[in-house]
């Protein structure tokens, strides 16, 4: 695919056209800016992501002295064959330029402005409307779910081509299947552009003091975007377990251990230890991740 710079070279250099009998009223108004060809109040273009589109802008100088202007753009990517031009008196300069549709841009309309500014600081603008084509796809993933004490952290990634306003539902189950957390889907205060990700935090102040927990986050958005991800963690009251060092009795520590053994006891009466994970790290705050 040709770059914007190479496309601009193909377009050629600035074309100068002599104005015939410029009206005195126009000369009093100074230079002006407009789409080339006449009859267009603004620029309009359509293209798929990655496309390089071409058009031409005219700088008209009906006055009696030359004027020098610099061309630039806002909102859309523009490359000019000649970004700085000197327009002689009673002359029109036609300047080719390209618009590059961003790779990965979502389908829909974008707006921008083509700006011309002279040496005295005077500016003129022309509006640009760019319609991005392509299929509409809503896709969302939940990643890097982790529990850190009284908060759940996660990332949402927009893997589609549309802007998403996601909703989130949260569920957590304990070792014996007891529901510890059940939050219905609610809209999040974020807008995810295509190809972007954001890290968010879900508070959990009422987490258990002692349990093995399975956490699941489900994110949804318009257009059928849906994903579920989760993690497993253990809450252990390390302050109680280490009570001997903090003035607690050995009986209190033994009680904490007994609870763990009872929760893990199988039907045949043998003790079943909590499942271990080589990547699990315990936190002194009472949570493990």
Phi and psi at residue 37, to the nearest 5°: 100, -20
Residue 263: its pLDDT value, please? 36
Structural domains for the chain: 4-132 (2.60.40.10), 140-234 (2.60.40.10)
pLDDT tens profile 17-54: 555 443 333 333 589 999 998 789 999 999 998 999 99
Residue 79 has pLDDT above 60, yes or no: yes
Q: Which pLDDT tens digit goes with each residue over 180-208?
A: 999 999 999 999 988 899 999 999 998 89
Residue 93: name the closest of 82, 104, 78 by CA. Answer: 82
pTM: 0.50
Q: Tokens 């006055």 identify what position? A: 63
What is the number of other CB atoms lying within 10 angstroms of the CB of residue 35? 19
């Amino acid at each position: 695919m040709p770059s914007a710079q190479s496309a601009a070279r193909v377009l050629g250099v600035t074309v100068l056209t002599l104005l015939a009998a410029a009206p005195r009223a126009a000369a009093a108004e100074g230079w002006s800016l407009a789409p080339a060809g006449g009859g267009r109040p603004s620029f309009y273009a359509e293209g798929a992501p990655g496309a390089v589109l071409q058009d031409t802008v005219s700088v008209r100088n009906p006055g009696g002295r030359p004027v020098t202007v610099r061309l630039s753009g806002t909102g859309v990517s523009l490359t000019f064959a000649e970004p700085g031009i000197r327009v002689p008196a009673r002359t029109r300069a036609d300047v080719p330029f390209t618009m590059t549709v961003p790779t990965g841009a979502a389908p829909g309309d974008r707006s921008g402005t083509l700006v011309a500014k002279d040496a005295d600081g005077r500016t003129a603008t022309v509006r640009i409307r760019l319609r991005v084509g392509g299929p509409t796809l809503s896709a969302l993933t939940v990643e890097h779910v982790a529990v850190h004490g009284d908060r759940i952290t996660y990332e949402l990634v927009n893997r589609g081509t549309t802007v998403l306003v996601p909703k989130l539902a949260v569920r957590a189950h304990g070792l014996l299947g007891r529901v510890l957390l059940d939050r219905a889907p609610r809209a999040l205060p974020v807008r995810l552009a295509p190809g972007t990700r954001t890290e968010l935090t879900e508070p959990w102040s009422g987490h258990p003091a002692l349990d093995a927990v399975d956490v699941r986050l489900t994110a949804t958005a318009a257009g059928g975007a849906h994903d579920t991800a989760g993690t497993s963690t253990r809450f252990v009251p390390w302050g109680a377990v280490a009570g001997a060092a903090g003035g607690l009795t050995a009986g209190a520590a033994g009680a904490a251990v007994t609870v763990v053994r009872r929760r893990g006891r199988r039907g045949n009466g043998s003790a079943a230890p909590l499942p271990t994970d080589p990547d699990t790290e315990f936190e002194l705050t009472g949570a493990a991740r």
